[in-house]
Amino acid sequence: MKNNNVGIIGAGLIGSLLGIYLSKKGMDVSIYEKRSDQRKKDKAQEGRSINMALSDRGWKALEKIGLKDKVKDSSIPMYGRRIHDEHGQTTFLSYGKENQAIYSISRSHFNQILIEEAEKEGVNLCFDHRCDHVDIYKNEMYFSLPDGRKLKKVPDVILGADGAYSSLRDAMQKQARFNYKQEYISHGYKELSIPPKDGDFAMDPNALHIWPRGTFMLIALPNPDKSFTCTLFLPFEGEKVCFEKINDEEDLESVFRTYFNDAYRLMPNLNEEFFGNPTSSLITIECYPWVAHKSLLIGDSSHAMVPFYGQGMNCGFEDCFILDGLIEKFGTTSWDLVFEKFQKIRKPDTDAICQLALDNFLEMRDSVANPKFLIRKKIEAK
């Protein structure tokens, strides 16, 4: 097929889903991923995995390529938020009517499902290929391999699905009139866990648990192995409770006993996890245009957002769905037209979602703890 040799940078959630979509269209797709093939690691090497909340945008994109049922089997429905107050009392706020839910799924497991499907569809997956540089004028991608070899690839089009620190976007940033804005928020996050209790879930498995505490919060999502993955969001510094002020087990115990006592009692590995796991930062990225010559940014590389609306991945999946629809409508004899339409359609929507994600941080950590908010949400849910 002429004009349809596609090079995707990044085999994350968006790059692998995009590979499946384009391969199903009969294109010759290669994905270049800097990490090694995670499927070859044994369980002990797998390490931590956060879980993602998968919602309608994401399901729609999976349904179009026949993956909805397969993914549903690996996910757990969460019908609402369960709010934990400081005394251990909980309130349930349903997400909608008639059992509407969002779904919890392990990021690493989900990524592996998508990589496997991409392989089945005939996508050429090149792991251990770190993209060092892209020449957007010549359509050339330059890669380093672990053994020191360097490779150059020249596809017809390049799709940058290489996340918030995209190499393709780096190249685009050197062009005139490329707008770029990034912002680290004041908070960071740390992964913790609640293991199963007496062989079962230690809390209600069908809810997204939130401990909102004003300037900080803890959340927990269920896993199929009956554990919960928790994420603690704290300011880095300058507040009464912040990462900078938790320096030893005593500080940690004091914070958890004071603010998250019901969770604390379910976290036997808290010390090791808190002091062993990294503290990660949270970034929002806006840029435009997403297109340069024969290359396009997609997913987090074009619109990384903070995770409080649970929409970064869902939104990236929607990117794939919309791009696919445009290819169906306009064909790929002129990728320029498809790319141009894509960025015009997607930019306003993703800007809006990035803003909602920032706004939802305030709601999750603060308003959901406010009695008036709880009453209003309960009335809305009826």
- The smaller minimum CB distance to ligand FAD, of residues 159 and 327, is found at 159
Tell me the closest approach of the beta carbon of residue 44 to ligand FAD, in angstroms: 21
Q: Which is nearer to ligand FAD, 184 or 329 (CB)?
A: 184
Return the number of the residue (84 or 190) whose C-beta is nearest ligand FAD. Answer: 190
Closer Cβ to ligand FAD, 163 or 289, answer by number: 163
Residue 4 three-state SS: coil
Q: What is the three-class DSSP state of 354? A: helix
- Cα 378 to chain centroid, rounded: 29
Residue 17 beta carbon to ligand FAD: minimum distance, rounded to whole angstroms: 8
CB of 206 vs ligand FAD, minimal distance in Å? 16
Distance CA 285, CA 164 (A): 7
What are the φ/ψ torsions at residue 77 (nearest 5 degrees)?
Answer: -70, 140
Closest CB to ligand FAD among residues 280, 334: 280
Question: Nearest Cα to 338, choosing from 159, 124, 161?
Answer: 159
Beta bridge mates, 222: 228
> 9 or 266: whose CB is closer to ligand FAD?
9
Residue 137 Cβ vs ligand FAD, minimum distance, rounded to whole Å: 19
Residue 107 CB, shortest distance to ligand FAD, in Å, is 7
Q: Counting Cβ atoms within 10 Å, is residue 257 exposed (0-12), middle (13-18) or buried (19+)? A: exposed
Can you tell me the distance from the alpha carbon of 61 to that of 89, in angstroms, rounded to the nearest whole number? 38
Residues in contact with ligand FAD by the rule CB under 6 A: 9-15, 32-35, 50, 52-53, 130-131, 161-163, 167, 189, 231, 299-300, 307, 310-314, 316
Contact 287, 297 (CB under 8 A): yes
In the complex, minimum distance from the CB of residue 283 to ligand FAD, in angstroms, rounded to a whole number:
9
- Taking the CA atoms of 168, 171, 176 and 178 in sequence, report the sign of the dihedral they define: positive
For 69-130, give the DSSP string: HHHHTT-EEE-EEEEE-TTS-EEEEESSSTT--EEEEEHHHHHHHHHHHHHHTT-EEE-S-E
Q: Residue 358 Cβ, how far from ligand FAD at the closest point, in Å?
A: 14
Compare residues 10 and 289 and give the one whose CB is closer to ligand FAD. 10
